[in-house]
Amino acid sequence: MHPKSVIIHGVRITQELISPRAGREYADLWGLTRCNQKYWGGRLVDWSAWWDLHPLESVGEWQGIRERRPAAWEWYREQGPERPIYMADKHRQIPASVKFDLARVQREFALMENLERGVEPCRQFTCMLDFVIAFAILEGYRRIILNGIGFATDVGHQFVHRGILYWIGFARGQGLEVLVDEPSVYAMPREIYAYERFGFDELRNIRRAVRGPDQRGRPSPKPRAARGAK
């Protein structure tokens, strides 16, 4: 009997059009932003929920969903209300759109970072995936599988997505299973620093292993399943 499980999917990591749920049909599948259009040609059909918390219209330097990813916007509009698309607001043009309850998530994960300010609503959200993992925890999932997450290896990208490791650690600290399908920069390191590895050449090795569409324009030819997954 499998625990309540969810696969959070970002990038297709197989050459074949095989759903991340293949062999794991017991799990729900949550997709992120434009991955169905960019990596699947709209042919990923067995998803359970979708996520795009970005502004619909342009805000500052952000172009907005409609302008930045028009194919995804049209796909969102075509989806019926049977499966939710979590967004920052409910949109009349998108029947599947469901307003993400930010206040609930911040309240449930309130923490104290400063003694003078005391306990405050959580603001440890540096990218959308942080919200997705936090929501999965609140929804009672006991196994969270990251699939096609962690392909970009440049330091700048890792900095603006630094909250992902916080939420992975938080979930594991709560006794949840967090499995990472490889290749991914969030996978368990092969070597322990100062005992098995001396220096910072690990990033070069990760870059050799990661061959995603955003790196070479094609999926990885030899993906590895998460260790411990069944």
pLDDT tens-digit map of 135-157: 999 999 999 999 999 988 788 88
Asked, for residue 118, whether it belongs to a domain, the answer is: no
Q: Are 141 and 4 in contact (CB under 8 A)?
A: yes
Report, as an integer, the average pLDDT of 93-102.
98
Looking at residue 103, its pLDDT comes to 97
Q: What is the pLDDT of residue 153?
A: 79
- What integer is the mean pLDDT of 5-12? 97
Question: Which of 28, 24, 22 minimizes the C-alpha distance to 6?
Answer: 28
pTM of the complete model: 0.86
Return the pLDDT at 92. 95
Q: Which of 16-25, 186-195, 211-220 has the lowest mean pLDDT?
A: 211-220
Residue identified by tokens 């930010």 is: 102
Q: Is residue 85 part of a domain?
A: no
Q: Tell me which residue of 144, 138, 222 sits closest to 180, measured CA to CA.
A: 144
In this structure, the number of other CB atoms found within 10 A of the CB of residue 205 comes to 13
pLDDT of residue 97: 98
Confidence of residue 130 (pLDDT cuts 50, 70, 90): very high
Q: Does residue 42 lie in a domain region?
A: yes
b (16+ CB within 10 A) / e for 35-55 = bbbbbbeeebeebebbbbbbb
Backbone angles phi and psi of 81, in degrees to 5:
-80, 5
How many structural domains are present in the chain?
1
Mean pLDDT of the chain: 89
Residue 89 belongs to a domain: no
How far apart are alpha carbons 59 and 189 in whole angstroms?
Answer: 38
Does the pLDDT value for residue 75 go beyond 70? yes
* pLDDT exceeds 50 at position 71: yes
CA distance 176 to 80: 32
| Position 107 in a domain | no
Mean pLDDT of 67-87: 96
Average pLDDT over every residue of 160-183: 96
Could you list the residue range(s) of the whole structural domain that residue 176 is in? 5-53+142-216
**Looking at the domain assignment, is residue 162 inside a domain?**
yes
Residues 6+ apart with CB under 8 A from 222: none
Q: Is residue 87 part of a domain?
A: no
* Residue with tokens 């006794």, as numbered in its chain: 175
Residue 202 is assigned to a structural domain of this protein: yes
Q: What is the pLDDT of residue 221?
A: 43
